[in-house]
Amino acid sequence: MTMLPQEVIRKKRDGGQLEADEIAGFIKGLADGSISEGQVAAFAMAVWFAGMNREECVALTLAMRDSGEALDWSILGRPVVDKHSTGGVGDNVSLMLAPIVAACGPAVPMISGRGLGHTGGTLDKLESIPGYDIQPSPALFRRVVDEVGCAIIGQTANLAPADKRLYAIRDVTATVDSVPLITASILSKKLAAGLQSLILDVKLGNGSFMADASETEILARSLVDVANGAGVRTSALITDMNEPLADAAGNALEIKNCLAYLRGEKAGTRLDKVVMALAAEMLVAAGVAAGPAQAEAMARRALQSGAAMERFARMIHLLGGAADFVDHAETYLAKAPVVVPVDAGRDGYLTACRTRELGMVVIALGGGRTRPDEEIDHRVGLDGLKPLGTRVQKGEPIAFIHAADRQMAGEMRKMVAALYTIEDEQPAPRPVIVSRIT
């Protein structure tokens, strides 16, 4: 009997458990276009409300993985490892992490995504580099991973194509924050990428998709259980996203921030702690370090010696960017015509910020999307973001807005100032690494 999409949607809407063949049939139609965008959106909303159990989630993940081809890296003769973040504001970790880990020996073929909801996308950041090809030929992708050790690209048409379509529809239908959909979206791409091990950075806080600690742990455990069940050694770190991770949010601005990090200018920051913790997890999982202390020492050497920057530069060049990009990034990265400071409204300590809304400011400036096909402005965003706990004086800049015109800059300036809380007492520091899930 032919699978009717509307019957699958109805069954899930009413709280029923879908069979593996029903899920596989729906995903096949999603991938080949025989199921309409409206039906896909309805399915996503039904899953959002009714959820999925572990068996359904495994079936959804495998069906999305099998909607295209799977990669095989066995010819490289070295461990293949990757990392994925559930997304946040100012989270540009992948840009630094891939070359750091590659400089320590493993191969890192990283399949990344675009911005989703209020979060920035690694591909959008890389596309602010003139010439960078986020969808190289399979032969070039393999060559870069072989020669450099890492390559960060987007999904090819043949890699989990069902997820590519579902991802874009989720972004604009308020169905992003669903544990089964997040799990299947992340893992279908990673399983298709031929990984041996995977490390997950699951965000917790007001700038993440999961602001509740118990919900975050449910997502982390879902990801770890499904991935390990599919044969990929996986662990997760739950990390704090109650403020932007980097001191910049916006595409070209986060590339600048990445280069500063690789030059050693961000040591000791929250960003540095997350990068090093994830690098250590990846190196231990890949079997090239015996434990976290040895792994972090290896990662630090790769950073301090310049080996990580050299890998990043070669990756950029082989994927279409300028050979001298890292040395002359200022001449290649587009700059916003208007930059204005956001001033502190009073003396005191920065005690809190509404992180998700800061991400929405970047989108309002033009640095993100409200429709799947929308062009973005790589120049705009925020930088100079002061970390929480900083003592400020009235009139002192707590951030800078990079905008396309003065009117937008003025509107966003007032909004960003209102997103920060300034109080007399310094807040207690929060750990950036909250917990580890295996």
**Residue 94 is a catalytic residue:** no
Residue of 84, 114, 125, 256 with catalytic role: 84
Phi and psi, residue 108, nearest 5°: -125, 85
Residue of 128, 185, 222, 235 with catalytic role: 185
Give dist(CA 369, CA 114) in Å, integer: 10
Give dist(CA 149, CA 103) in Å, integer: 7
* 143 touches 318 (CB < 8 A): yes
**Residue 122 is a catalytic residue:** yes
In this structure, the strands spanning 150-154 and 108-112 are parallel
Residue of 65, 83, 114, 203 with catalytic role: 83
- Cα–chain-centroid distance for residue 158? 21
* 375 touches 409 (CB < 8 A): no
Phi and psi, residue 249, nearest 5°: -140, 120
Residue of 67, 85, 86, 178 with catalytic role: 85
Residue of 118, 189, 356, 379 with catalytic role: 189
* 345 touches 417 (CB < 8 A): yes
* 103 touches 295 (CB < 8 A): no
**Residue 438 is a catalytic residue:** no
Give dist(CA 276, CA 161) in Å, integer: 32
Residue of 190, 270, 314, 413 with catalytic role: 190
* 274 touches 96 (CB < 8 A): no
In sign, the C-alpha dihedral spanning 136, 138, 142, 143 is negative
Phi and psi, residue 259, nearest 5°: -65, -40
**Residue 170 is a catalytic residue:** yes
Give dist(CA 372, CA 116) in Å, integer: 10
Q: Is 10 helix (H, G, I), strand (E, B) or coil?
A: helix
Phi and psi, residue 29, nearest 5°: -65, -35
Residue of 170, 270, 369, 402 with catalytic role: 170
* 175 touches 44 (CB < 8 A): yes
Residue type, 231: G
Give dist(CA 209, CA 215) in Å, integer: 10
Give dist(CA 33, CA 162) in Å, integer: 9
Residue of 82, 163, 177, 240 with catalytic role: 82
* 271 touches 245 (CB < 8 A): yes
Task: Pick the closest to residue 234 from 357, 82, 366 (CA basis).
Answer: 82
Strand partners of residue 228: none
Residue with the two structure tokens 């999603």:
30
Residue of 94, 122, 208, 355 with catalytic role: 122
**Residue 185 is a catalytic residue:** yes
Task: Please report the beta strands in 148-287, taking only residues with DSSP state E, as ranges in sequence order.
Answer: 150-154, 197-204, 233-240, 248-249
CA distances from 348 to 267, 398, 425 (A): 25, 12, 7
By annotation, the residues acting in catalysis are 82-85, 122, 170, 185, 189-190
